[in-house]
């Protein structure tokens, strides 16, 4: 045995070199693994950010176009984003312009994922007030402010609200928002002749005959008080007196853009079909049917419309201090 051991003598130096080599190999493997992990992590992070930004750009444009045509006298006040590794949340604030006074309105949030998915979350909006016996109107409220409502000219409401009669009860240091519903369809030019000085938003007839028929059936069978369209759900556009047709071109171009692609494609197609009566007429400013407007100003300023015959109904909206 001693002779065999002598054939393979112990070499402490060699053994130390082997251990050192193994240690270096382990360290190198750990460092390489760590480097690869860092590269993979940052690659995933970069890809995540890239896909997230594409998703945000896509839906932000869709939402911007939709918000322009949807919601009476409601404007976007910008969107802020909160990011994490796998998702982002965009919060869009809205406001109403009441004769120069900006009033915060219902915000919305959209959640974006790295997989291209998105979901829209709207915070609690308008809610009905307390029903009073004999009251002409049970208004909706948001943050303590009344929400405007419209009456379609082809819906046979038995109880039509006319809040113009309460203008004399509102202090003159207030500015208000009123929604006028018309007795028929009118052109932009016809509406401008009457309301140009105080008009801020135009309500467009985007409802088909079948929808009106169903509403009338519901009123006849169940709800004699009538059916209204809440302002937050109405379709139309903000009035711009500097534009030849008050801003109708941008409303039309927004619909046409949404019709081509995006998350609101089918909704835009449906709206265009309703407005054009399934292509019986062209989608032009001259062919838009205006069935209501929103005006803002002091109670005294708006009293000049108290005897306008084309106004079928009037509902009071936001009321704020002038100063």
Give per-residue pLDDT as tens, 144-162: 899 999 999 998 887 889 9
Q: Could you tell me the pTM of the whole model?
A: 0.82
In a domain? residue 108 = no
Strand segments, DSSP code E, in 133-198 are 140-142, 145-147, 149-150, 174-186
User: Which H helix or E strand runs over 181?
Assistant: strand 174-186
Token look-up 């909206």 returns 317
In a domain? residue 297 = yes
Burial of 160 (0-12, 13-18, 19+ CB in 10 A): middle
Query: CB–CB of 147/233 below 8 Å?
Result: no
Q: What is the pLDDT of residue 10?
A: 57
Start-to-end C-alpha separation, the chain: 109
In a domain? residue 263 = yes
In a domain? residue 84 = no
Domain count, the chain: 1
Of 45-54, 111-120, 254-263, the range with the highest mean pLDDT is 254-263
In a domain? residue 295 = yes
Rounded Cα distance between 105 and 269, Å, is 28
Share of the chain above pLDDT 70, in %: 88
Query: CB–CB of 295/229 below 8 Å?
Result: no
CA–CA–CA angle 40, 84, 264 (5° rounding): 110
Average pLDDT, the chain: 87
In a domain? residue 203 = yes
Does residue 282 carry a pLDDT above 90?
yes
In a domain? residue 206 = yes
Share of the chain above pLDDT 90, in %: 57
pLDDT digits (tens, 9 = 90+) for 50-72: 877 888 888 889 999 999 999 99
> What's the whole-number mean pLDDT along residues 184-198?
97
Does residue 190 carry a pLDDT above 60?
yes
Among 47-51, 77-81, 307-311, the range scoring the smallest mean pLDDT is 47-51
The residue length of the chain stands at 323
Query: Would you state the structure tokens that stand for residue 276, as one six-digit string?
Result: 């054009």
Pairing of strands 149-150, 174-186: unpaired
Domain assignment of residue 155, given as a range: 132-321
User: Which H helix or E strand runs over 314?
Assistant: strand 311-321
> What's the whole-number mean pLDDT along residues 17-41?
83
In a domain? residue 45 = no
């Amino acid at each position: 045995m001693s002779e065999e051991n002598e054939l393979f003598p112990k070499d402490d130096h060699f053994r130390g070199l082997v251990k050192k080599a193994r240690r270096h190999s382990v360290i190198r493997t750990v460092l390489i693994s760590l480097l690869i992990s860092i590269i993979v992590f940052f690659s995933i992070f970069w890809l995540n950010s890239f896909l997230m930004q594409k998703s945000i750009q896509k839906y932000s444009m869709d939402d911007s176009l939709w918000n322009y045509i949807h919601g009476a006298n409601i404007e976007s006040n910008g969107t802020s984003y909160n990011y994490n590794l796998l998702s982002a949340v965009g919060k869009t604030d809205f406001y109403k312009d009441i004769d120069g006074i900006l009033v915060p309105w219902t915000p919305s949030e959209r959640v974006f994922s790295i997989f291209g998915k998105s979901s829209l979350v709207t915070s609690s909006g308008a809610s009905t007030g307390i029903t009073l016996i004999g009251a002409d109107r049970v208004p909706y409220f948001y943050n303590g402010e009344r929400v405007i409502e419209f009456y379609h000219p082809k819906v046979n409401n038995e109880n039509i609200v006319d809040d113009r009669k309460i203008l004399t009860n509102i202090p003159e240091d207030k500015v208000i928002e009123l929604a006028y519903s018309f007795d028929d369809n009118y052109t932009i030019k016809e509406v401008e002749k009457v309301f140009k000085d105080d008009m801020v938003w135009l309500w467009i007839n985007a409802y088909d005959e079948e929808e009106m028929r169903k509403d009338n059936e519901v009123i006849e069978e169940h709800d004699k008080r009538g059916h209204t369209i809440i302002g937050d759900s109405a379709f139309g556009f903000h009035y711009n007196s500097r534009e030849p047709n008050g801003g109708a071109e941008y409303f039309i171009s927004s619909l046409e853009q949404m019709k081509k692609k995006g998350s609101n494609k089918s909704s835009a197609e449906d709206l265009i079909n309703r407005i054009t009566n399934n292509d019986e007429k062209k989608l032009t400013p001259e062919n838009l049917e205006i069935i209501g407007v929103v005006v803002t100003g002091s109670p005294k300023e708006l009293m000049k419309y108290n005897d306008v015959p084309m106004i079928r109904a009037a509902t009071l909206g936001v009321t704020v201090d002038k100063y």
